């Protein structure tokens, strides 16, 4: 047996990769519950690929048959409902995990030197994921899919000069129809997904180059023992592999509870208007985005002018890319930065309030909340360079606390 | 009222969507809790097959699938539920009326009800079915509080009775309000099942899947605890002897 393994390792760096990324990759020993999100996200992407494969095997990308083919999966295909609910609810869970994962990065300063590129690639994955979710959202071709497709592609229309041409290119014609479904399916399952998967690979490679941050924001590589390994580090395998298996167990329990007992999550994970067939003659009273994109939609609505609204929304999406350079404080973790910690909490509350408001019909009573929310969101990034330079900090311990 | 004319011309979906919206804003009848078991679904399916399927299709739900989900044999399905002529056991529930007839008699083809409970919610359907009133100005003689100028005539009137807009009982139905409400709830339960036929299968399997994952979690936790014992031991060491004599983290 060992001869076979040696033969294999002489021809493929399996042993080296195992060492580099698992058994000799040292991770801080003080990871908390937020550090389960990374491995859970990887698991969820794999599950989406699996369920997506089965969905695509039954899906027909034409405006005539798309809706019925999805209903065929729900009514006539053995285990079809399981596969579709896995895929649909999986999206919402991926975004919950993404928000926790990114929130953790903000809380513990995981975007700081030397992890700038890690943050930028990670945030790029989030932006790509929004696109991936949008393409997938159109495919079942319920009435919400149709109108969401119309509204979102019409945003491109606002681009100066080439806007109208780009909109036609995105739709494959003057309106959302069969050509749109065909190209969105190709993007959703091939090109966009492969780019996304490649970025996830780059994200993990970048992480293993610089090493994981931790809740204390201390560099464990700065303190090494006699054998040259970090004193506060433990090998990823077996310690974090067994820990992550436990996390997977708990997470899958929750996932199963949603799939089997509340698959539409009361119209939040799977909206009611998706159960009407797409109909260009019947406009919806209000087209609202899924909850995970609603904050941006609320900010779009905060400005009455279409172009200014789109600029604000684009700014909201782009600003977090610059987080590593906006933060000027010497201390990383918000554990030792009370002012920054308050800012992060305010940001989280604002973001999810905007998500709620973005799901509501456009009533005047939400207008003030939308504007205030947008101001806090943008203000956070614009004021951070000034505040972080002068904010008070608490003494940072030399070793991680456990 | 004049404003509702183009709305009626735009077809039932728009009006339904708007009505659902209005219902969310101001529900006129407090909906009761709708019981949802195989028994209520079968009772509702029976009523639906006897009366509603004269006009309405549930085209996505095949008779065979219904039998399998509700525990009914082919003979029972054929006898009780396959009422319209030409109904095929392997195909979806079809109406007795053709689209052309429906258009001639009612002005609009009655909608396929496959996804209606998912689209509008069982609570809305219940409120809708109990909110009809006598309106001599309408061609059918019927109107609805949550779906103004509805095209559907109130076929439930013989059971539930005829009311005016203000809620005055004109002609009592053959059922008491309590019994009638339960019958409507049965029909709604059937529509809820029809819009989500995996529901009983899901509920039956769900507990075992969750049980299996709970078991996995417990075993994984015990494994994790065992593996992490030496991390915690080392920590205790480092607190007593300082960091100089820490054992290497990896063996070998």
Q: Tens of pLDDT along B130-144?
A: 999 999 999 889 999
Distance CA B183, CA B177 (A): 10
Q: Which residues in chain B have Cβ-Cβ distances shorter than 8 Å to A24?
A: 250
Instruction: Report the percentage of chain A scoring pLDDT > 90.
Output: 89
Instruction: Report the percentage of chain A scoring pLDDT > 70.
Output: 100
> Pick from B56, B33, B20: which is nearest to B182 by CA?
B33
Indicate the SS3 state at residue A51: helix
The reply to whether A262 touches chain B by the CB within 8 Å rule is: no
CATH topology (fold) of B4-197: Cytochrome Bc1 Complex; Chain D, domain 2 (1.10.760)
Q: Is A307 exposed, middle or buried (0-12, 13-18, 19+ CB in 10 A)?
A: exposed
CB contact under 8 A, B115 and A275: yes
The reply to whether B220 touches chain A by the CB within 8 Å rule is: yes
CB contact under 8 A, B118 and A275: yes
Structure token digits, residue A264:
């539409």
Q: Sort residue A214 into left (φ over 0), alpha (ψ -120 to 50) or beta.
A: beta
pLDDT for the residue A376 = 97
Within 8 A by CB and 6+ apart from B126, the residues are: B31, B32, B34, B184, B185, B188
Mutate to test the interface with A, among B224, B235, B242 (most CBs of A within 10 A): B224
Decide which of A336 and A283 is more confident.
A336
Structure token digits, residue A256:
């199963």
Mutate to test the interface with A, among B93, B195, B209, B247 (most CBs of A within 10 A): B209
**Average confidence (pLDDT) over A151-180:** 92
Place of tokens 């003659």: A281
Q: Which of residues 224-253 of A touch B (CB under 8 A)?
A: 225-227, 229, 231, 233-235, 238-239, 242-243, 245-246, 248-250, 252-253
Per DSSP bridges, beta strands B142-144 and B162-163 are unpaired
| CATH among 1.10.1060.10, 3.30.450.20, 3.40.50.620, 1.20.810.10 for A32-287 | 1.20.810.10
At A193, the pLDDT band (50, 70, 90 cuts) reads very high
pLDDT for the residue B236 = 73
CB contact under 8 A, A283 and B21: no
Rg (CA), chain B: 28
At A196, the pLDDT band (50, 70, 90 cuts) reads very high
Question: How far are the Cα atoms of A101, A130, A197 from residue A42, in angstroms, in the given order?
Answer: 12, 16, 10
At A158, the pLDDT band (50, 70, 90 cuts) reads confident
pLDDT for the residue B248 = 47
How big is the A-B interface in CB pairs under 8 Å?
A: 127
> Pick from A96, A275, A81: which is nearest to B206 by CA?
A81
What b-and-e string marks burial along A244-264, b requiring 16 or more CB atoms within 10 Å of the CB? bbbbbbbbbbebbebbbeebb
Q: What is the pTM of this model?
A: 0.91
pLDDT for the residue B13 = 43
pLDDT for the residue A159 = 87
pLDDT for the residue A319 = 97
Residue of B nearest to A270 (CA): B118
pLDDT for the residue B29 = 57
Phi/psi of residue B93, nearest 5 degrees: -70, 125
> Pick from A209, A226, A4, A19: which is nearest to B245 by CA?
A226
Question: Which DSSP state fits B76?
Answer: H
pLDDT for the residue A216 = 96
Distance CA A173, CA A164 (A): 11
pLDDT for the residue B31 = 58
The H or E element containing residue A395 is none
CB contact under 8 A, A75 and B121: no
Q: Is the pLDDT of residue A153 over 80?
A: yes
Q: What angle do CA A226, A231, A232 make, to 5 degrees?
A: 170
In angstroms, what separates the C-alpha of A113 from chain B's closest C-alpha?
A: 27
Contact (Cβ atoms closer than 8 angstroms) between residue A344 and residue A334: yes
At A350, the pLDDT band (50, 70, 90 cuts) reads very high
Spans in chain B with pLDDT lower than 50 = 1-28, 241-252
**Average confidence (pLDDT) over A87-100:** 98
Distance CA A124, CA A203 (A): 10
> Pick from A309, A321, A355: which is nearest to A155 by CA?
A309
CB contact under 8 A, B228 and A243: yes
Indicate the SS3 state at residue A339: helix
pLDDT for the residue A29 = 94
Q: Which residues in chain B have Cβ-Cβ distances shorter than 8 Å to A147?
A: none
Q: Considering chain A, what is the average pLDDT of its residues? A: 95
The H or E element containing residue A234 is strand A233-235
Q: Which residues in chain A have Cβ-Cβ distances shorter than 8 Å to B202?
A: 81, 259-261, 263
Q: What is the ipTM of this complex?
A: 0.92
Q: Which residues pair with B185 in a beta bridge?
A: none
pLDDT for the residue B252 = 37
User: Which of A36-40, A69-73, A160-164, B248-252 is least confident?
Assistant: B248-252
The crossing angle, in degrees rounded to 10, of helices A294-302 and A367-390 is 100
**Average confidence (pLDDT) over A253-260:** 98
Distance CA B114, CA A142 (A): 14
């Amino acid at each position: 047996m060992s001869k076979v393994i040696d033969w294999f390792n002489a021809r493929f760096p399996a042993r080296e990769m195992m060492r580099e990324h698992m058994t000799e990759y040292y991770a801080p020993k003080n990871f908390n519950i937020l550090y389960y999100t990374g491995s859970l996200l990887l698991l969820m992407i794999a599950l989406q690929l699996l369920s997506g494969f089965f969905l695509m095997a039954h899906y027909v990308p034409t405006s005539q048959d798309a809706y019925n083919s999805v209903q065929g999966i729900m009514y006539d295909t053995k285990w079809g409902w399981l596969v579709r609910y896995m895929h649909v609810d999986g999206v919402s869970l991926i975004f919950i995990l993404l928000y926790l994962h990114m929130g953790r990065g903000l809380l513990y300063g995981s975007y700081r030197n030397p992890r700038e590129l890690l943050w930028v690639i990670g945030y790029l994955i989030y932006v790509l994921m929004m696109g991936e979710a949008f393409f997938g959202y159109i495919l079942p071709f319920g009435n919400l899919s149709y109108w969401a497709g119309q509204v979102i592609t019409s945003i491109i229309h606002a681009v100066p000069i080439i806007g109208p041409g780009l909109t036609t290119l995105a739709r494959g014609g003057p309106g959302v129809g069969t050509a749109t479904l065909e190209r969105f399916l190709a993007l959703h399952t091939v090109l966009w997904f492969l780019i996304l998967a490649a970025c996830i690979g780059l994200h993990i490679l970048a992480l293993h180059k610089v090493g994981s941050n931790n809740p204390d924001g201390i560099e464990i590589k700065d303190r090494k023992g006699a054998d040259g390994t970090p004193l506060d580090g433990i090998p990823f395998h077996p310690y974090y592999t067994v820990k992550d298996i436990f996390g997977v167990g708990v997470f899958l329990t929750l996932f199963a509870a949603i799939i089997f007992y509340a698959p539409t999550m009361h119209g939040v994970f799977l909206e009611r208007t998706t159960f009407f067939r797409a109909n260009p003659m019947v406009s919806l009273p209000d087209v609202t985005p899924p909850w995970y994109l609603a904050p941006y939609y609320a900010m779009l609505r905060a400005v009455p002018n279409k172009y200014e609204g789109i600029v604000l929304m684009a700014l909201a999406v782009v600003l977090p890319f610059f987080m590593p350079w906006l933060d000027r404080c010497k201390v990383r973790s918000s554990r030792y930065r009370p002012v920054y910690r308050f800012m992060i909490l305010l940001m989280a509350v604002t973001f999810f309030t905007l998500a709620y408001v973005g799901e509501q019909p456009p009533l005047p009573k939400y207008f003030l909340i939308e504007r205030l929310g947008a101001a806090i969101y943008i203000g956070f990034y614009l004021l951070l360079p000034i505040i972080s330079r002068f904010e008070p900090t608490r003494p940072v311990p030399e070793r991680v606390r456990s | 009222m004049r404003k509702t004319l183009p709305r009626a011309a735009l077809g039932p979906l728009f009006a339904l969507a708007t009505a659902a919206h209005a219902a969310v804003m101001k529900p006129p009848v407090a909906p009761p809790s709708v019981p949802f078991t195989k028994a209520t679904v079968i009772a509702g399916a029976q009523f639906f097959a006897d009366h509603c399927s004269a006009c309405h299709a549930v085209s996505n739900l095949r008779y065979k699938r219904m039998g399998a989900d509700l525990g009914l044999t082919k003979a029972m399905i054929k006898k009780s539920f396959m009422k319209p002529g030409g109904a095929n056991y392997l195909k979806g529930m079809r109406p007795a009326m053709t689209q052309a007839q429906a258009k001639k008699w009612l002005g609009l083809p009655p909608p396929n009800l496959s996804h209606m409970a998912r689209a509008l919610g069982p609570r809305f359907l219940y409120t809708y079915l109990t909110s009809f009133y006598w309106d001599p100005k309408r061609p059918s003689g019927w109107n609805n509080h949550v779906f103004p100028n509805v095209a559907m005539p109130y076929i439930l009137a013989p059971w539930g009775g005829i009311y005016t807009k203000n809620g005055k009982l004109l002609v009592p139905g053959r059922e008491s309000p309590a019994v009638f409400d339960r019958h409507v709830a049965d029909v709604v339960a059937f529509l809820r099942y029809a819009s989500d036929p995996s529901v009983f299968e899901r509920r039956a399997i769900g507990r075992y899947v969750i049980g299996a994952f709970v078991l996995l979690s417990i075993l994984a936790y015990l494994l994790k605890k065992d593996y992490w014992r030496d991390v915690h031991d080392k920590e205790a060491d480092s607190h007593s002897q300082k960091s100089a004599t820490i054992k290497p983290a990896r063996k070998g």
